[in-house]
Structure 1
């Protein structure tokens, strides 16, 4: 599957190079595979916000269409990776604690509904 993905990206890049000869939006087609292939170096560059800003400004100066498309592609890929990792955005609302249940007869915490930590049964109905 990785080989198929790489081949598809290569085809999109080649198509973008062919279209860029006649139309300016062909550069946009070349930006998407470029960002996907260079995601790890771009991620390292984005550790420092000043170097990242310098990179994007230089790219914007050289070719504004490529820079805007690459920046949008990098943003969406970065958001996709964060979504895949399931990183919560608000830690206080995502970590809800379950209420502690204390066995009134022993005063110990209960592991589940019927046993406390010491293993004593509680709440069983004798039929």
Structure 2
């Protein structure tokens, strides 16, 4: 997914709706990092982005599409960044068993690290998320 500014049309009002996709994805990422996938509600995503439900669905298709955009954006930025690892943990725990595309994305990401490094990265992030030192 290419991240760029886009113009959306509000068909009910007949006027252009502008928003910055990068900023929207940043806000979506924050929601998923705070609540996880399952607990993040559409209302949380609407509030964080300042967009209407229709605009979010038009841009991303679904809550899953929003999560994938957040995950892919973070993977494109820094594959071993704290946010990326946290999103990967969410994907592993909440989505990988039932979503083949996300499962494949996780597998490819995991295979990009030596196994001992991956275990350390995931373990450290899991402890940090759980606030265990």
Between 1 and 2, higher relative CO (CA 8 Å, sep ≥ 6) is seen in 2
Q: Which structure shows the higher strand fraction?
A: 2
- Report which of the two structures shows the higher radius of gyration computed on alpha carbons: 1
